Structure 1
Amino acid sequence: MQKIQNFINGEYIDPIKGNYIDNVDPGTGKVFASIPNSTQEDLEKAVSASQCAFPEWSSMAADKRSRILHKLADLIEDNLEELARMESRDNGKPFWLAKAVDIPRASANFRFYASAIVNFSSEAQVSEGFMVNYTRRAPLGTVGCISPWNLPLYLFSWKIAPALAMGNCVIAKPSELTPMTAYMLGELSKEAGMPAGVLNILHGEGKGIGQAIVEHTATKAISFTGGTATGKIVGATASQQFKKVSLELGGKNPNIVFSDCDLEEAVKTSVKSSFTNQGEICLCGSRILIEDAIYDEFKEKFVKECQKLVVGDPSDDNSNLGALVSESHLQKVDSYVKLAIEEGGRILHGGNRIEKDGFYYEPTVIEGLDENCRTNLEEIFGPVVTLNRFKDENEAIRISNSTRYGLSCTIWTSDLKRAHRVSHAVQSGIIWVNCWLVRDLRTPFGGMKDSGIGREGGNEALRFFSEPQNVCIKL
């Protein structure tokens, strides 16, 4: 059984107190590795390393930092197969999905910010013959980055890449459920030429080492992606020290299908937006709202496509869905399906655990639920979607905005004016029209309401991991 280590000051080291927790393969339900359950002592070691590294890293020329990050992106691409297999085993997602999406996007994250940092412009205001003011962006120092289990390396890199690009040192904690690709990233960062102490990776439980990172006075900003309940704790803790905080939290996203849509494309993409990564993506369209005129036709085609989905071994390229991340998460998903039945829902497809080793669940489609029931309002984060009717545009908007979440929304229509109207009326930070999960790293990313605060992506991330510093020179 593999035993992994923390990555501190450019070296892999055991946790100081010698505490470990099991890492379970979701595809088999068996323990295959043990990971450090880090403590305050490990954090102090990482803080010391980052503070020693900060003067060199922050003063390094931007183009040199850029070359190191580009090299790290290259190394991720060079190790694509191994990283994808690690992530598939760690997370339960199909290997082909990790290879096609997660790992390439992790490499793209580093490459984007490696380029962005040498193209990031400062501002200057000139008062002729009197003074010049210019504003530079100063790195913060040591920052904490805490990432979730659903897209392990993709979201891990999404946080640390802009932080490193701006000259900060990072103490990062991947999810204790999916630590393996972050573990490997330590060695790759060293191979890329990153100075010791710039990137430190601590493993362990969120309530332990995660909370300690948030609380530590040395961490000047916290970037957290995870559940809304945990996000509230992170935000409240960080606010006590007036730290900068970015929270990307849960979603209960509407997928609005108008009768003038391209029905075939809407059905095909809605299946993907419902069940990709076993539905364990905060951006999945778990509430499908369908205009009355095409409800029955959409339902028939959608269920027919769902029946073709194969749930199986993550290493099998024929598997459309793999395993859920853990036994406890599978039980949570199943409890919501049972709740939906109690609330009057009708199961059109799925609704059962698949009886085999590992944590597998059928893609599940439910109709007939009241728009205000718990199943329609609470985040399930699994392969479960509800079908809901609406009669007109106003009703679609009202139902879409009825939850406490506001992360993303997908709209299907051929009417350009309607696309703009509905996009502006829906309370979501991200709107896709006639597509889903199409991303441009230059754009801000984040949610409204209980889906979080702050924005990641593009220059928003670079600004988050820096402070404006104004310099006034009298002429």
Structure 2
Amino acid sequence: MLSASSSLLRSSLRTAAKSGLQLRCFSHLPLSVPIKLPNGLEYEQPTGLFINNKFVPSVEKKTFEVINPSTEEEICHVYEGREDDVGIAVSAADTAFNNGSWSNIEPSYRANCLLNLANFIEQDKELIASIETLDNGKAINNARGDVQVVINYLKFAAGQADKMGGRLINTGDQYLNFAKREPLGVCGQIIPWNFPLLMWAWKVGPALATGNTVVMKTAESTPLSALYVSQYIPKSGIPPGVFNIVSGFGKIVGEAITNNPKIKKIAFTGSTATGKHIYMNAASQLKKVTLELGGKSPNIVFADADLKMAVQSIINGIYYNSGEVCCAGSRVYVQEEIYDQLLEELKNAAENVKVGDPFSESTFQGAQTSQNQLSKILSYVEIGKKEGATLITGGERLGSKGYFIKPTIFGDVKEDMHIVKEEIFGPFVTVSKFKTLDDVVKMANDSEYGLAAGIHTSNINTAIKVADQVKAGTVWINTYNDFHHQVPFGGFNASGLGREMGLESFEGYLQTKAVRARLY
């Protein structure tokens, strides 16, 4: 791979990293660098901030390093935004909103632009999936699935752009009443590192379809795919200032976005702790907020379930995307009659999960996205052992290069253990026994989170009864991590506020104006 910086610069950055310093430097970085991907594809990677439909350097010309989690090698540098850059981006977005070039234009025009955007991505989808795999470490087949969901969701959002107008209200012949749906204004959007492009689309789609403008912060560890697809924004017909990206760090760029008074709405996907902080900051200015946060989701297997199907759903529920999924089925509950049999089959299946080179077509579990995440997962392995749980399989780093870990299963767990209660965010699952439906519902709901749940049974009455009682925003029956762009996604309790995807996702980007006119 080609790098944007010299060997001297890389050496300095490595030294800084070993000293615990942030990987930042002053550099005259070009606005794009050539990159050759491991699968042989070559492309130009944008490195600038994206403001007013152009890639530009940051005000202070600082950059930060982007690391390939599969090799621990530098991919390139991108410009690091700071408070001044956020101010410039917000000003551009505010101007674009107030001049009406997007907010007041015919909704069908916005629909066509979003459709164009989806089509550009579709034409380039193999390259975009490869960029996602390079930057995030996820398996290439997972990345391809992400890109397809991106395309489908943008097309869905395009189809809703002209359906958000409002309604007439009949109060008799002396008045004309109508409720009008209007965009909010400038929206701040902060996306995570586990699904960089997918979260980009989940935020962009409803915000732009409803006529808002956007200032977005990507995750500092995975900025590349969002920057790459942003080059399609002007080509799609979207006016300058409507969509902007300021790459950078949460404590600087994220804070500046959250606190800017011109930003009327914050959409954040990430940890519950950060979500609470953002919520408190936004509340001081009465900003509208959407939060998609953490989870510790139960995946329940009844004795009458199809065992092979259930095991495959558990595998998909916890090892898909290297386990870096907020709704991962990280707590498996198995009815006691089949506990031993399921645990043995699950162990065999986990040990046959292909972990390694994410560009290999046979790989299911790629690398963890960062050294920090790998270290966190391994620390929970030690916590689980100390708490008295039984390590069934995994729990070890795989190889010495790249952030890989073996699929991990703990049995003989108790419900008050840290490994059962706390979000680990990796390929790490606990397996518990239960006796009755009432028992497992109580266990499933014994969590501060409420993002998702899985139910495996051949009895539809059992499935619906548990689905009704479990406290989760999404419930999958005889499947898991099975997303569709028309189905809303979001959590209860500490898992967040508002919804992504589905018709419900548009509500977070609209406000209602009532008009009542007396007729003479």
Shorter-chain TM-score: what band? Answer: over 0.9
Q: 2:459, 2:505 → 1: CA distance?
A: 33
1:374-385 matches, within 5 Å, as 374-385=418-429
- The 3-state SS of whatever aligns with 2:101 is helix
| Gapped regions of structure 1 (runs ≥ 5) | none
CA distance in 2, matches of 1:431, 1:380: 21
1:92 and 2:137 equivalent?
yes
Query: Unaligned stretches of 5+ in structure 2?
Result: 5-28, 30-46
Matched, 1:26 2:69: yes
1:46 aligns with 2:89: yes
1:258 to 2:273 alignment? no
Q: After the TM superposition, which parts of structure 1 deviate over 6 Å for at least 4 consecutive aligned residues?
A: none
Structure 1 letter corresponding to 2:70: G
State the 1:257 CA deviation: 0.3
Amino acid at match of 1:18: K
Task: Give the conservation status (yes or no) of the 8 Å contact 1:372–1:402.
Answer: no
CA shift digits 1:176-229 (9 cap, x unpaired) = 111011101220111111111100011001111011101100110000000011
Task: Give, in angstroms, the shift of residue 37 of structure 1.
Answer: 2.1
Matches within 5 A, 1:408-447: 408-447=452-491
Higher mean C-alpha displacement, 223-232 vs 443-452: 443-452
The answer on 1:309 being equivalent to 2:353 is yes
SS at match of 1:246: strand
Structure 1 residue 121, shift from structure 2 partner: 5.0
- Equivalence map 1:236-255=2 (5 Å): 236-255=280-299
Partner SS state of residue 177, structure 1: coil
The DSSP-based 3-state class of the residue aligned with 2:170 is strand
322-331 or 301-310: bigger deviation:
301-310
Name the counterpart of 1:149: 193
Give me the whole-angstrom Cα distance separating, in 2, the residues matched to 1:307 and 1:443.
33
Q: CA deviation at 1:264?
A: 1.4
Greater CA deviation, 454-463 or 237-246? 454-463
Write the mapping of 1:198-217 to structure 2, written as runs, cut at 5 A: 198-217=242-261
- Per the normalisation by structure 2, the TM-score is 0.90
- Identify which of 446, 461, 465 aligns with 2:505: 461
Alignment of 1:316-355 (within 5 A): 316-355=360-399
Please tell me the residue identity of whatever aligns with 1:418: T
SS in 1 for 2:85: helix
Per-residue deviation, residues 402-456 of structure 1 (Å, max 9, x unmatched)? 1111100000112222212211111111111111123343333211111111222
Q: Which amino acid aligns with 1:387?
A: V
Distance 2:468 2:353 in 1: 34
Shift of 1:355: 2.3
* Distance in 2, Cα, partners of 1:170 & 1:216: 13
- Relative to 1, partners in 2 of residues 1:185 and 1:28: Cα closer, same or farther, differing over 3 Å? same
1:344-403 deviations in whole A, cap 9, x for unaligned?
111111110112311000000110111111100000000100111011111101111111
What secondary structure is seen at the aligned counterpart in 1 of 2:151? helix
Deviation of the 1:474 alpha carbon: 1.8
Displacement after TM superposition at 1:265 (Å): 0.8
1:156 & 1:258 partners in 2: Cα distance?
37
The letter of the residue matching 1:27 is: S
Q: Secondary structure at the match of 1:255?
A: strand
Q: Does 1:361 align with 2:405?
A: yes
| Aligned match of 2:49 | 6
Q: 1:168-247 counterparts in 2 under 5 A?
A: 168-247=212-291
Residue in 2 that maps onto 1:72: 117
Aligned to 2:102: 57
RMSD: 1.1
> What's the % identity of the aligned pairs?
35
* CA offset digits 1:310-351 (Å, max 9, x no partner): 111111112111110001110000000110011111111111
Taking structure 1 as the reference length, the TM-score comes to 0.98
Q: How many Å separate the matches in 2 of 1:51 and 1:371?
A: 49
Residue of structure 1 equivalent to 2:15? none
